[in-house]
Structure 1
Amino acid sequence: MSAFETLWRMALTLAISAGGGLIAEAAGLPAGLLMGGALSVTIASLIGVPVAMPRRLRDVGFVLVGLSMGASVARDSLALIPQWPVTMAGLIIELVIIVWATGYMLKRLFGLDSGTAYLSSFPGHLSFIMGIASAGVGNSRQIMVIQTIRVMMLTVCVPIGALFLPSGAGFETAAEPMVALPRLAAVAAACVVAGWIFVRLKVPAGYVLGAMAAATLAKLTGNFDGSLPQPMLTVTFILMGALIGSRFAGITYAEFRQASIGGLIATAMTVGIVTAIAAASTLLVDMPFGQIWLGLAPGALEGMGALGIALGYDTAFIAAHHVTRLLLLSFAIPLVVWLVGRQERRLDLSMRSEK
């Protein structure tokens, strides 16, 4: 393939991702830029459009994803946890049950490998998960379909469910100012270096995990305050949408059908687990069921926060739980990936010894 053809395919892929993302964003879909871009490039791949993402551009996307994940960690999130010990405990229990139960189901019922099953089971951090999957952990195409079905189902189920939730008392939050550009440049440079080191150390998804580690460390030590510029986030989601969608080229109908069914079952299990934990929490704390449910729901923070405002719930409670969920997932996802890798290496050694 000539350099011109590679550049043309790359430009076409990015244009499709940007167009689909902007349409989804305008329609108000959660994570619209990412999901819309990924779905549009996926459809283009399935109908035979020549899409492509060069390796270097892919690595840039990985670093941006890791940087964005680290920037989303709130410095005061750890201080907020003791204010709601029962529901925070419920959140931890919920995440463990969701990841274990849905991962086990996807392995046993659908025969997915451990990496694909457990990355498909995580309720959140989609761009981080797909960054790891796209770097070689699990089957990224199946993970994308299952996670897409999960997000789509939650998009439908959460607003409908909210119609049956009682109202509470209002609460408002303030927007965070944008991070200073010199500080952003310094942290981004540290993310690139950390990602390069992780790759050299042969850490899975090295650029993603290295960049996230550097950005998270800067955030928790007070050296990375503020929100990321919106254009930077837009570029990040367009790149990831293009990368995710381009990996669907060549997928069979049987693969798509299997992953879709798994996604529907996983979503139903997740909603059921959240509802059960929220109901149990109401027996121990004096809070509205709806407020607890929105705080524990595996949907996007902005969507749950908007519903909380509309229903008059304490959005500080909802935000704290969602930030904590993302913080827990930031550490749980790499841990599970490491455990899965260790298990696969043990199985490989066992099979070799038997031969």
Structure 2
Amino acid sequence: MHRALRTGLTLIIAAVGSLAISMLGVPGGMLMGGALAVSIAALSGFPATMPNGLRNVLFVCVGLSMGANVAPDTLQLIGQWPTTLGALALELVVIVTICGIVLRRLFRFDAGTAYLSSFPGHLSFIMALASTGVGNPRQIVIIQVQRVMFLTLFAPIGALFLPVGHYSGGGSELMDLTTLAMVAAGCALVGWGFTRLKMPAGYVLGSMAFATAMKLTGHFDGSLPPILVDLTFVGMGALIGSRFAGMTRAEFMQAAFGGTVATAITVAITTVFAFGASFFVSMPMGQIWLGLSPGGLESMGALGIALGYDTAFIAAHHVARLLMLTIAIPLVVMLVKGRQPLTEPSESPETR
């Protein structure tokens, strides 16, 4: 099947899923539905795909949307961020330690696979290290993608039980098309620059940085066209679901149970820390949860937009998480390599 046709069908599947779930009134249904529909199709054998060029366009749109939804009192609330950033740092230590132990002791993964699967984020960095012989790359990628997928699917459901934000950073009037085109062009250019500098999620962070700076300095106002936001959600859902393409159901099930348990533990720990932090800062718990959540910046940023939370807070905490993991992952890998002769090998075919 031609790649363009596969891409078109992937987007159609995502659109159908998005519309179906959004009709149920679930917050973030456009994103959740597309991700669910495409993931099911991919695991059923459909060759879902999202070209890199289209992916980058989606990342620019996510960054633009996040910048346009920055809360006007963000600068006043920055003073509260050290509290939640401290909670984030402690949370990461607890997540990696507990999930690593559970995957090793209960599911008999080798130490490399267990701990690299437990890190909440920096998948490309983790896979690069796994390719050097630390852990089982197939199991790691299944567990890591499964984590992002589950968070994307179930965070909106959890939001049904939490107060949902009602702030729309752009205001009630739509941004005029000329301003939108100029801001979008600037977002794309800065995103490209961030990517050339090898910054993680460069297109998202670069475009958000530009849009946020332009908004806070009064260079644009107004909300984005709803159709653009909805198309971004559909595309992001298709992108998340397409990551399961090429995985057989047997491969998925081999690591899925352990991944499900690890994800449940991670969500529970995040919820505890978010609840605790909510006593010390004046922010909605749902917003704190998204900031501390171990999901991808793109996915959690999109959910922040859909749920009406301050996207500057969410983005800052996810960037901080990536920076913390950049330091922590190599340290843990060195410890794992030092103890590797003492670990039990994984029972997967690839490590026998």
Q: Give distance in 2, aligned partners of 1:75 and 1:59.
A: 27
Match of 2:119 among 117, 120, 125: 117
Conserved 8 A contact 2:67-2:209? yes
What corresponds to 2:345 in structure 1?
A: none
2:16 to 12, 16, 19: 19
Matching residue's letter, 1:337: L
> d(CA) in 2 for partners of 1:159 and 1:268?
17
Q: 8 Å contact 1:44–1:51 — kept in the other structure?
A: yes
SS of 1:118's partner is: coil
For 1:203, what is the secondary structure of its paired residue? Answer: coil
Deviations 1:287-310 (A, max 9, x none): 9xxx97567554966897xxxxxx
Q: What is the aligned partner in structure 1 of residue 350 from structure 2?
A: none
In the superposition, the TM-score normalised over structure 2's length comes to: 0.69
Q: 1:126 is matched with which residue?
A: none
What does 1:59-208 align with in structure 2 at a 5 Å threshold?
59-79=56-76, 91-110=84-103, 111=113, 117-119=119-121, 142-150=143-151, 152-155=153-156, 159=160, 176-208=172-204
**Contact in 1 for aligned 2:190/2:206 (Cα 8 Å):** yes
Gaps of 5+ in 2: 104-112, 128-139, 294-302, 338-352
Kindly indicate whether the alpha-carbon contact (under 8 Å) linking 1:18 and 1:238 is maintained by their aligned counterparts in 2: yes
Letter paired with 1:101: V
Tell me how large the CA RMSD over aligned residues is.
Answer: 3.8
Asked whether the equivalents of residues 34 and 237 of structure 1 are also in contact (C-alpha less than 8 Å), the reply is: yes
* SS class of match (1:252): helix
Specify whether residues 161 and 214 from structure 1 end up closer, same or farther in structure 2 by C-alpha distance, changes over 3 A only.
closer
Indicate the residue corresponding to 1:259 in structure 2. 259
| Matches of 1:177 and 1:37, distance apart in 2 | 28
- The count of aligned residue pairs is 297
Q: Which residue of 2 aligns with 1:43?
A: 40
Larger relative contact order, structure 1 or 2 (CA cutoff 8 Å, min sep 6): 2
Q: Does 1:232 align with 2:243?
A: no
| Alignment partners' CA distance in 2, 1:303 and 1:52 | 24
Q: Distance in 1 between matches of 2:66 and 2:200?
A: 17
Contact 1:116–1:140 (Cα < 8 Å) also in 2: no
Confirm or deny that 1:337 pairs with 2:322.
yes
- C-alpha distance in structure 2 between counterparts of 1:195 and 1:9, whole Å: 27
* Deviations 1:101-134, CA, capped at 9 Å, x for gaps: 3344334433455697233xxxxxxxxxxxx85x
Change in CA separation of 1:20 and 1:140 when aligned onto 2, cut-off 3 Å = farther
State the Cα distance separating 1:229 from its structure 2 match. 1.0
The code of the aligned residue for 2:14 comes to: S
* In 2: Cα distance, 1:258 partner to 1:32 partner: 27
Give the conservation status (yes or no) of the 8 Å contact 2:21–2:29.
yes
Cα deviations by residue, 1:183-211 (Å, 9 ceiling, x for unpaired): 21111101111122222223233222222
Deviates more, 1:99-108 or 1:295-304: 295-304
Q: Which TM-score applies when normalising by structure 1?
A: 0.69
Q: Would the aligned equivalents of 1:19 and 1:37 in 2 still touch at CA under 8 Å?
A: yes
Paired amino acid for 1:269: I
- Answer yes or no: is the 8 Å Cα contact 2:88–2:321 preserved in 1: no
Structure 1: which amino acid aligns with 2:263? G
The question of whether the paired residues in 2 share the 8 Å contact of 1:136 and 1:205 is answered with: no
- Alpha-carbon shift at residue 224 of structure 1 (Å): 3.1
Q: Does 1:31 align with 2:28?
A: yes
Which residue, out of 306, 313, 329, partners 1:328?
313
AA partner of residue 193 (structure 2)? I
Q: Distance in 2 between matches of 1:45 and 1:10?
A: 12
Shift of 1:29: 1.7
Cα distance in 1 between the residues matched to 2:72 and 2:53: 32
Q: Does 1:220 align with 2:197?
A: no
Q: Alpha carbons of 1:292 and 1:236: their partners in 2 closer, same or farther (altered >3 Å)? A: closer
Residue 270 of structure 2 corresponds to residue 273 of structure 1? no
- CA–CA distance in structure 2, aligned partners of residues 97 and 71 of structure 1: 31
Identical-residue share of aligned pairs (%): 32
1:63–1:148 Cα change, 3 Å = same
CA distance 1:112–1:210, shift in 2 (3 Å) = farther
Question: Does the 8 Å CA contact 1:103/1:117 hold for their aligned counterparts?
Answer: yes
